[in-house]
Amino acid sequence: MAIHIDEKNRIFTLHTLRTTYQMKVDNTGVLLHTYYGARTDDGDLSQLIYHMDRGFSGNPYEKGKTDKGYSLDVLPQEYSCFGTGDYRVTALRVRNTDGSRAADLRYQRHEVRPGKYALEGLPAVHADQQEAETLVVWLRDPYTGMEAELLFGVLPALDVITRAVKITNEGQTPVVLEKAASLSIDWQYGDFDWVTFHGRHCGERNLQRQPVGHGIQSIGSVRGTSSHHYNPFSILCAPGANEEQGDCYSFSFVYSGEFAMEVEKDQIGQTRLVCGIHPDDFGWNLAPGESFQTPEVILSYSGAGFGLLSRNLHRTIRDHICRGKWAGQRRPVLLNSWEGTYFDFTGDKLVAMAQEAAQLGVELFVLDDGWFGKRDDDHSGLGDWFPNEQKLGCSLPELVRRITDTGLLFGLWFEPEGISEDSDLYRAHPDWAVQIEGRRPNLSRDQLILDVSRTDVQDYLIERMCTILDSAPISYIKWDMNRSICDKFSHQLDAAHQGQFSHRYVLGLYRILETLCQRYPDLLIEGCSGGGGRFDTGMLYYCPQIWCSDNSDAISRLDIQYGTSFGYPGCTMGAHVSAVPNHQTGRVTPLATRAAVAMAGTFGYELDLAALSDAEKEAIRRQIDTFQASSQLLQQGDYYRLRAPGTGCAVWENVDAAGTEALVTAVYSHVVCNGGLIRVKVHGLRPEGQYRVHLLKEDETADWSRFEFAQDRFLSGAALEHAGVVIPPAWTDYQAWQLHITLCEKD
């Protein structure tokens, strides 16, 4: 059993393959957090909690006269509350009818359920009854009747525990939730580093590591989305932790809207992390009997460094977040029209691109922005989801037929959440735009945002998108969203309920996406928000891949995809081979390098094929063959970061679960004259097995006779893991190499 309960001592112990998580109800009814870390037994770890009188740390009334060493200000708690003696950053803050903000949650009851809980209207980890168990613990404020239902999902084989909270007003008067976090967790002992992932448009998810000092450190977003700027994923780790050793704890917020992660080291060196919806734009009214469901947080622990932690999360996302036909299936190699044409295209030009792509082995053609309404630039037309037949030279169904006749699948770009002032939709429904009545709105990309918190707006988008999807065999859509949200105001909410807007917006977005997923189970949806502005686990529940960044430069992508890999598997990272000079950076990189980097993600192309030479087209055929042959390895295998991009040569490895095949990819940032060789250790192989190490050559017609590394090598799995393999030196700046390692008998 994953969940063990000591009923007599009221101890709850959750076990996974390598970890243990424990709570205990003390004699005042407070649910204490006693332990999370490497697997131990069911013993009472509350014995490690030391009580002593702390100056200016007050005591609950029932303890104040007899036990001045008992204080909520220093006790490790499972769900911390504001206003009743805990002065640290807390998870729950309410405004009661009398204006007070106190909440005091005490244990009521518990229940164990087979399988994994689900959350109505929200994405969450899914698992069957053989893969997971659920623990529910109810806490209640005896003064107001406020009840918190703490949900714990345990997936033992993955070393994953999930957390969520349902708040219910069981009292007689209304209350307002001012903060309702999904997770609060305490560590009594130890120093930590906090690893977060910051960024910007075209430069997302850069790793930042800093010690946790006294005070509150936080990341978050008030932009309406999870944002390019901070990802809703972080790691707390031991100061010496690295890829292969050290204690590491990860927190992945399964949510696509505004969030906050806060870490505090308190007066006596204890550490607390709180994660949930950002409180700045939040205020949720609860009438008697009403409930509020928080989103989910995925927790994992590794005692063997970042690498194992990432692989825990990769498996969880691949198998228990992503759903449907495409969750475990190779995605089609696509050609996206955007960087090849931008807005300047006709139907005939698109068909010619598709014909060229089909000859090279591409499987899916995607028509990006500009196919609808009055849309020859980004100043008009958003919201008018009606094909522009004059521009296309035919109907959309006819264009789709002409392209699918080439043997390709067809995909289409949408930006459903955007609306242009110069659009028929805005002229008909100006109140559907997110803007504060009586104020001039903030513009971004010369567009506004549709109020997706409204059911009528959701219904409009569902009707328009379904009408288009029903009109032709469309296999893929790219769901884009190209600005942050401000001027937050809904014409359907009164003044007392405007604090619900941001969360209702996300719930509306999820409703539309869930409707599409259910109605079109074979449809592949790729998420996008100016690239990686909404790259989060919540979106992956509906979109099994997300465009990783609008920056398609291969060298820039090394850092972006490296940071992303800590919390997300490669099969979720939209990555394309684009033209050079690159449209974002102006950098010129070899075609082979661009392909090697894109193969670390979903793999596709975004360029004008007609502008390529015959040699480049032949190289693309080989690249597609390589990706298709290795796709299971690349997209479903275990992933190891062997060298970071900042070292001069980024190296990563994909290896299958059976340890029979691996692909090691290396990309140099520059040539070093007469430099030392780079050796990396290959992981995940069978120690006793014999392996062939084969260098994939970027040009099969070149003279490799003088190049020593062109020859195959035969080494044992143990030798490859402990002695390693040498990466060939760079011949040119931005050189890429791929070593294909396969189990075989030594000659």
- The span from the CA of 729 to the CA of 725, in Å, is 13
Cα-based distances in Å from 685 to 23, 159, 523, 627, 682? 38, 22, 36, 21, 7
- The span from the CA of 361 to the CA of 409, in Å, is 12
Look up residue 255 and give its amino acid. Y
Q: What is the DSSP letter of 325?
A: T
- The span from the CA of 651 to the CA of 722, in Å, is 17
The neighbouring-strand residues paired with 151 are 136, 164
Catalytic site positions = 536, 616
Find out whether 408 and 419 touch, Cβ atoms under 8 Å: no
The neighbouring-strand residues paired with 639 are 654
Q: What is the DSSP letter of 745?
A: -
CA dihedral of residues 381, 382, 383, 386 (deg, nearest 10): 50
**Residue labelled with tokens 């996008």:** 528
Could you tell me how far CA 584 lies from the centroid of its own chain?
24
- The span from the CA of 42 to the CA of 698, in Å, is 56
Using DSSP bridges, classify how beta strands 409-414 and 476-479 pair: parallel, antiparallel or unpaired.
Answer: parallel
Using DSSP bridges, classify how beta strands 31-38 and 678-680 pair: parallel, antiparallel or unpaired.
Answer: unpaired
- Name 608's Cβ contacts closer than 8 Å, sequence gap at least 6: 340, 341, 353, 579
Please count the other Cβ atoms lying within 10 Å of the Cβ belonging to residue 746. Answer: 10
Of residues 30, 27, 21, the one with CA closest to residue 80: 30
**Residue labelled with tokens 């609008």:** 550
Cα-based distances in Å from 191 to 18, 79, 213? 22, 22, 9
Find out whether 365 and 605 touch, Cβ atoms under 8 Å: no
Find out whether 470 and 523 touch, Cβ atoms under 8 Å: no
Angle at 419 between CA 416 and CA 425, to 5 degrees: 100
Find out whether 38 and 19 touch, Cβ atoms under 8 Å: yes
**Residue labelled with tokens 């037309």:** 381
Q: How far apart are the first and last CA of the chain?
A: 48
- Name the strands in the sheet holding 573-574, side by side, starting at the edge strand that comes first in the sequence: 573-574, 545-547, 524-527, 476-479, 409-414, 364-367, 334-336, 604-606, 577-578
Give the SS3 label for residue 319. Answer: helix
426-458: burial string, b at 16+ Cβ within 10 Å, e else: beebeebbbbeeeeeeeeeeebbbbbbbbeebb
Counting beta carbons within 10 angstroms of the beta carbon of residue 484, is it exposed (0 to 12), middle (13 to 18) or buried (19 or more)? Answer: buried
- Name 91's Cβ contacts closer than 8 Å, sequence gap at least 6: 79, 80, 81, 165, 179, 180, 181, 183, 184, 274, 276
* Tokens linked to 533: 């502005």
Cα-based distances in Å from 179 to 90, 95, 276, 361, 499? 9, 10, 9, 52, 11
